[in-house]
């Protein structure tokens, strides 16, 4: 299907972009029907759902670009995708940007962590020297073939080096030409306010309930100077809770009747996965034989 809207257009209109996290095809197709400005392919979610492993630099470029292709081909909503550190050195960054762009990703997130990277809401993250990240941004901008492909520069400096260094890096990354700046894991509302007030760029906020940052509404984030908010774990945590309660109920009672969570019908599930298209094909080409 590929995206029929452009993320850059919403940002230029100063429309605040809310992007829920998607981590496999069912979450992508459900979110695609909701009318969001963008969807966010979470590295944490892909690592967990596709590989069954933590987001600790284990997922490869091939893993991630393959998932991005499958998702982008099936949705009409612009896709923002986690590209970790660019999966290596400068030549890897170029390859990553070209590959992500080719499969339909509209905004590519690259961070300044050392390899192997870690999830932004876990301890022990270390960042590369600022000049190394500036070179990655230069390469990423040069590698893209479409000007509406956006480069998101993320800094993980807050946890290890403090907010001042994170803001310094955010300013430098914006000056280097990154389209969107992502300061990961501010630890208070006042820190979010400082980021929004001191960095002159489109700014992305990572909303992770029960993570390192407080949850702040989209309306308040916009008032602070942010342009986008991603919710990488929202669907994943809800889905895991629903699965847990559904399976516990079956184990305890031997039936789905009376389960404490609501479910969609098989008809709705058939529609979600695309059976109507199969049935239409069969009516046109198989049943007429």
Residues 151 and 289 in one domain: no
Contact call for residues 102 and 147 (beta carbons, < 8 A): no
Contact call for residues 37 and 7 (beta carbons, < 8 A): yes
Residues 88 and 169 in one domain: yes
Compute the chain's Rg from CA coordinates. 20
Residues 206 and 285 in one domain: no
3-state SS class at 160: helix
pTM of the model: 0.94
Q: What is the pLDDT of residue 30?
A: 98
Q: Does residue 248 lie within any of the structural domains?
A: no
Q: What is the pLDDT of residue 211?
A: 85
- The Cα 223–Cα 218 span in angstroms is 9
Residues 149 and 277 in one domain: no
- The Cα 158–Cα 170 span in angstroms is 11
- The Cα 289–Cα 285 span in angstroms is 7
Residues 181 and 213 in one domain: yes
- CA angle, 59 as apex, 107 and 77 as ends, to 5°? 30
Residues 220 and 265 in one domain: no
DSSP state for residue 48 in the 8-state scheme: I
3-state SS class at 155: strand
Q: What is the pLDDT of residue 5?
A: 81
Enclosing domain of residue 272 = 259-289
Q: What are phi and psi of 151, to 5 degrees?
A: -105, 120
User: How many Å separate Cα 45 from the centre of its chain?
Assistant: 9
Residues 186 and 85 in one domain: yes
Q: What is the mean pLDDT of each run of 10 residues along the chain (289 residues)?
A: 81 97 97 97 96 93 97 97 96 98 98 81 83 98 96 96 97 98 96 98 95 94 98 96 96 95 95 96 85
CB atoms within 10 A of CB 4: 9
Residues 285 and 199 in one domain: no
């Amino acid at each position: 299907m590929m995206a029929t809207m452009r993320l850059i257009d919403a940002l230029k209109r100063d429309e605040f972009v809310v992007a829920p996290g998607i981590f496999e095809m069912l979450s992508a197709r459900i979110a695609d029907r909701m009318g969001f400005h963008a969807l966010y392919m979470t590295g944490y979610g892909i690592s967990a759902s596709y590989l069954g492993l933590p987001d600790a630099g284990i997922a490869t470029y091939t893993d991630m670009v393959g998932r991005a292709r499958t998702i982008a081909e099936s949705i009409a909503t612009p896709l923002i995708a986690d590209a970790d550190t660019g999966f290596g050195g400068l030549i890897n960054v170029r390859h990553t940007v070209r590959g992500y762009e080719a499969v339909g990703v509209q905004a590519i997130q690259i961070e300044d962590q050392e390899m192997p990277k870690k999830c932004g809401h876990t301890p022990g993250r270390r960042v590369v020297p600022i000049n190394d990240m500036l070179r990655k941004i230069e390469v990423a901008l040069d590698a893209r073939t479409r000007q509406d492909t956006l480069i998101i520069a993320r800094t993980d400096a807050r946890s290890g080096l403090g907010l001042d260094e994170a803001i310094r890096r955010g300013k430098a990354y914006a000056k280097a030409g990154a389209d969107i700046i992502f300061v990961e894991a501010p630890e208070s509302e006042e820190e979010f306010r400082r980021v929004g007030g001191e960095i002159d760029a489109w700014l992305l906020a990572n909303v992770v309930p029960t993570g390192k940052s407080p949850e702040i509404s989209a309306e308040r984030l916009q008032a602070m100077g942010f342009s986008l908010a991603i919710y990488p774990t929202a669907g994943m945590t809800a889905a895991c809770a629903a699965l847990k309660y559904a399976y516990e109920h079956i184990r305890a009672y031997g039936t789905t009747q009376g389960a404490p969570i609501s479910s969609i019908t098989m008809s709705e599930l058939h529609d979600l996965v695309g059976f109507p298209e199969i049935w239409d094909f069969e009516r046109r080409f198989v049943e007429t034989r």
